[in-house]
């Protein structure tokens, strides 16, 4: 359980509370969560983060009316820099996007500009937004997974509570440096507030001494009963791997399944700023 779960910043959220949907555009529905909450827990300084990256969201339930009252539907891509002061709380994001449903806008460009303005204000840093027609959303094409899946390893699991001490023995310092792409589809955590399950495929790319795949898999599975937001889980994994391993390069990318028409995909890297297009069948 995260130490900051009962923070005032979280208890004031609509997440986990009964809400009323509105179909008229309302930017005030958006709510921010300070990234500092879990970063303080991880002893991270916002002005000296050990990683780069972004949070990439996809919205599958975005619709509005044109000036003649005809409904328009789109798929949306949202990108937030990981250095932004706030993350956007997902339920408020869903309510906000639904508020476009019965509102009229003059063009796709106007909708995109409004989204950029509102989301940048909430996150505290410039957000990027792209809108796609549902049959021409290139970032959402299924990608070939160029990574070694570790899920078929024969392991005995007795612990389903987060435990970073499982990473002892992650690497043998005598091993020669290698570059490796790994993936596990067994990452599961729970929402910090509602305890609803969150499912993800996690991609790990590194350059360093070879990782013990069994140790890594046992650690990933230990998140199964852990309560934390998507972005916070990925940052915790990056920090833990960095603490127990020695890497010249390390990249973590989690592709979470969607809930409420949104999926959230945190990307953290020691070298890269931008997440790749890497959609799996689960999205």
Which of 82, 118, 191, 233 is the catalytic position? 191
Which of 55, 118, 198, 240 is the catalytic position? 198
Interatomic CA distance for residues 207 and 52, integer angstroms:
16
Interatomic CA distance for residues 228 and 7, integer angstroms:
13
CA angle 89, 95, 98 (to 5 degrees): 135
Residue with structure tokens 């009964």?
Answer: 18
Q: What percent of the residues of the chain are helix, what percent strand, and what percent coil, each to the nearest 5? A: 25, 30, 40
Q: Is 233 annotated as catalytic?
A: no
Q: Is 198 annotated as catalytic?
A: yes
Interatomic CA distance for residues 254 and 276, integer angstroms:
11
Listed in order, strand segments (DSSP E) in 38-176 are 52-65, 71-81, 86-88, 128-132, 148-149
Active site residues: 191, 198
């Amino acid at each position: 359980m995260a130490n900051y779960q009962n923070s005032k910043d979280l208890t004031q959220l609509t997440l986990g509370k009964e809400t009323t949907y509105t179909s008229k555009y309302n930017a005030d529905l958006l709510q921010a969560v300070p990234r500092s909450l879990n970063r303080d827990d991880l002893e991270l300084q916002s002005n000296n983060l050990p990683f780069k990256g972004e949070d990439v969201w996809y919205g599958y339930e975005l619709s509005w009316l044109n000036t003649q009252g005809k409904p328009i539907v789109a798929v949306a891509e949202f990108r937030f820099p990981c250095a932004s002061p706030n993350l956007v709380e997902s339920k408020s994001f869903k309510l906000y996007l639904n508020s476009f449903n019965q509102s009229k806008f003059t063009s796709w460009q106007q909708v995109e500009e409004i989204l950029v303005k509102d989301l940048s204000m909430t996150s505290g840093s410039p957000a990027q937004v792209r809108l796609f027609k549902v049959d021409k959303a290139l970032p959402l094409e299924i990608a070939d997974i160029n990574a070694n899946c570790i899920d078929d390893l024969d392991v005995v699991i007795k612990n389903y509570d987060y435990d970073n001490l499982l990473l002892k023995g992650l690497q043998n310092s005598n091993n020669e440096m290698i570059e490796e792409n790994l993936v596990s589809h067994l990452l599961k955590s729970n929402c910090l507030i509602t305890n609803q399950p969150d499912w993800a495929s996690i991609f790990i790319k590194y350059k360093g001494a070879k990782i013990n795949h069994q140790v890594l898999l046992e650690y990933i599975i230990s998140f199964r009963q852990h309560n934390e937001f998507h972005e916070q889980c990925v940052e915790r994994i990056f920090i833990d791997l960095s603490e127990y391993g020695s890497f010249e390069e390390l990249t973590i990318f989690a592709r979470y399944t969607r809930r409420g028409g949104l999926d959230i995909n945190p990307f953290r890297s020691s070298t890269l700023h931008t997440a790749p297009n890497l959609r799996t069948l689960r999205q």
